[in-house]
Amino acid sequence: MISTSTFNTPCTPNWCPGCGDFGIWSALRRALSNLGWKPSDFVMVYGIGCHGHMVNFLKSYAFETLHGRPIPVAEGIKLANNKLNVIVMAGDGDTFGEGTNHLVHAARRNIDITMILHDNQVYGLTTGQTAPTAQKGFKTKSTPYGVLEEPVNPIGIAVAAGATFIARGFAGDIPFTQSLIEQAIAHKGFSFIDVFQPCVTFNKINTYQWFSDHTYYLPKEYGANDRGEAYKKALEWGDKIPLGILYKEEKPTYEDGIPQIKDKPIIETPLPTREIMDAFINEFI
């Protein structure tokens, strides 16, 4: 175990006081410290949103991508160097307003990356518009009369797409979320954690109190090994929203199926010889 301060940078977080992003940041630093990782042992890949500001506050290799595109960038990094541990931080707008397809394909591919969704049911960075996860009737500056559509169901999508580790955490319970992050990282394959992350500035409905009142922890007897049961859990909402590991399955990863990276990663494979390169280039001259 190493100190959580190992992952600090000279920058002080500029999230609004009380933002749930602080809880996720703390949970992640504690998990990394428990794993004994150094900042050079992993790559963080961020989307664009308040969550993405973490690129400045967490010391590691990192890439802040385009809005909606952290997953494909993370997949590219993993395939270029499959020895690296890759963690994606994404917003709910980021993931489901733009780029839902990336989640679906990463899940069915079972590529070995960990994804942590900052689920605040709103667009935080752009000052409070409706996110696809927002509940029906939620009033924001982009839907002043209330949202008309049904919200997307992040867990339901992950279950249907074939993710092999699916969990839900809460930024208000840091030790619990830390434990989920540790288990997700330890899992071989695509792991997805939907973390309820109160946006104290733009979402006055789904507050810390609201989440505390409306969630429960899955009991030990819940096996987390039946995709059908996990889907039933994904549909639980309202007064009874489950937290914990909803589904887990051991399965070969996408990388396991690529013989070219079986012995060493692509970055350690020598480039094609000069002659081959020249012949290729000459075709275009």
- Give residues in contact with ligand TPP (CB under 6 A): 47-51, 66-68, 91-94, 98, 118, 120, 122-126, 131
Residue 181: CB atoms within 10 A of its CB come to: 27
CA pair distance 254, 111, nearest whole angstrom: 5
Return the bridge partners of 80, or none: none
Please state the closest distance from residue 21 (CB atom) to ligand TPP, in A.
7
DSSP class per residue in 17-72: TT-HHHHHHHHHHHHHHHHT--GGGEEEEE-SSGGGGGGGTS-SEEEE--TT-HHH
Contact (CB, 8 A) for 148 and 200: no
Please state the closest distance from residue 44 (CB atom) to ligand TPP, in A.
15
- The residue among 199 and 245 lying less far from ligand TPP, judged by its C-beta, is 199
Place of tokens 């696809």: 132
Please state the closest distance from residue 199 (CB atom) to ligand TPP, in A.
6
Residue 267: CB atoms within 10 A of its CB come to: 11
Please tell me whether residue 129 binds ligand SF4 under the rule CB under 6 A. no
CA pair distance 73, 229, nearest whole angstrom: 32
List the one residue out of 92, 95, 53 whose CA is nearest residue 74: 95
Please state the closest distance from residue 185 (CB atom) to ligand TPP, in A.
21
Partner touching 66 among ligand TPP, ligand SF4, Mg ion, none, CB below 5 to 8 Å by kind: ligand TPP
Residue 133: CB atoms within 10 A of its CB come to: 23
Return the bridge partners of 114, or none: 87, 191
Please tell me whether residue 55 binds ligand SF4 under the rule CB under 6 A. no
Please tell me whether residue 133 binds Mg ion under the rule CB under 5 A. no
Residue of 124, 132, 242, 244 interacting with ligand SF4 (CB under 6 A) = 124
Residue of 44, 131, 195, 199 interacting with ligand SF4 (CB under 6 A) = 199
Please state the closest distance from residue 119 (CB atom) to Mg ion, in A.
7
Type of residue at 279: A
CA pair distance 236, 177, nearest whole angstrom: 20
- The residue among 9 and 142 lying less far from ligand TPP, judged by its C-beta, is 142
Binding to Mg ion in span 80-99, by CB under 5 A: 91-93
Please tell me whether residue 218 binds ligand SF4 under the rule CB under 6 A. no
Please tell me whether residue 15 binds ligand SF4 under the rule CB under 6 A. yes
- The residue among 68 and 91 lying less far from Mg ion, judged by its C-beta, is 91
Residue of 4, 8, 9, 16 interacting with ligand SF4 (CB under 6 A) = 16
List the one residue out of 98, 5, 2 whose CA is nearest residue 59: 5
3-state secondary structure of 266: helix
CA pair distance 253, 144, nearest whole angstrom: 45
Please tell me whether residue 87 binds ligand SF4 under the rule CB under 6 A. no
- Residues at the site binding Mg ion, with contacts judged by CB under 5 A: 91-93, 120
- Residues at the site binding ligand SF4, with contacts judged by CB under 6 A: 15-16, 19, 21, 50, 120, 124, 199-202
